[in-house]
Copies of this chain bind each other. A is one copy, B any other.
Amino acid sequence: MPGKLSNINFNDYKPLREVIFESLRQAIIMGELKPGERLMEIQFAEKMGVSRTPVREAIRKLELEGLVVMIPRKGAHVAELSVKDIIDVLEIRSSLDGLATKLAAERITEEELNNIKNNIQQFAQNMEKNNVQGLIKKDVEFHELIYKASRNEKLVHIATNLKDQIHRFRVVYLKDYSSPKELVKEHQDIYDALKKRDGIYAESLAGIHINNQQETMTTYFTKNKNKR
């Protein structure tokens, strides 16, 4: 068989519902669809030039993921984000990041350690350039790298979901209230612990790292209470 053909994947068909699912999901995570905003099937179907059926199926999945709330016979709307919700998510993340980092300390490869090293470097570069969007991206990536190194797919899945649930909000507060310098220091410390394969220390550092974020976030909310 000619080499070229073997590179083509004939099985990359993706159902419409999946495309729509990812599209709506992204729109919610990125804040284009605001919390509380109604999701009307016909509207999306027409905008995308498809029928209601695949849109409905996409919304069902988003509902289970917690990004969308359904009220029978009334329809779906983007899930609201209360302060309690965000604290709840960060509480869980603190624990799961600890676990992921502990597992990563046992299972991470040299290559993966290098990827993390590079990530920290790039984070620092974005910091110098005052590139907030880039900072967020690299911060998200840092945690993804560690989760992947844990070799626990379900853990990756849950963490991704939790991260996405509060991403809309992170964009807001990370911009104004966190200090990237501290973040980069914390990332560096975690990396060092991973490199030394010190699971217990890495675990506690990761937990503290998220707890710090929780505090930053709480500060943000007490200062901006009036805006709500």
Contacts and interface: CB of A to CB of B under 8 A. Distances in A.
Interface string A120-158: 000000000000000000000000000000001111011
Contacts of A72: 13-15, 18
A168 interface: no
A69 to B, nearest CB: 13
Contact of A95 (B14, B89, B95): B95
Nearest to A18: B72
A88 interface: yes
Contact of A91 (B53, B66, B85, B103): B103
Interface stretch (A35-43, A56-64, A214-222): A56-64
Which of A103, A154, A155, A165: most chain B CB closer than 10 A?
A154
Nearest to A73: B13
A66 to B, nearest CB: 7
Given A92-B96, A152-B88, A157 B65 contact: no
Top 4 A-B residue pairs of the complex, sorted by shortest distance between their CB atoms = A95-B99, A64-B64, A61-B64, A60-B60
7 contacts: A15-B73, A64-B64, A88-B153, A89-B154, A91-B152, A92-B154, A154-B162
Given A13-B72, A64-B65, A85-B154, 5 more contacts: A57-B60, A61-B63, A92-B154, A96-B96, A154-B165
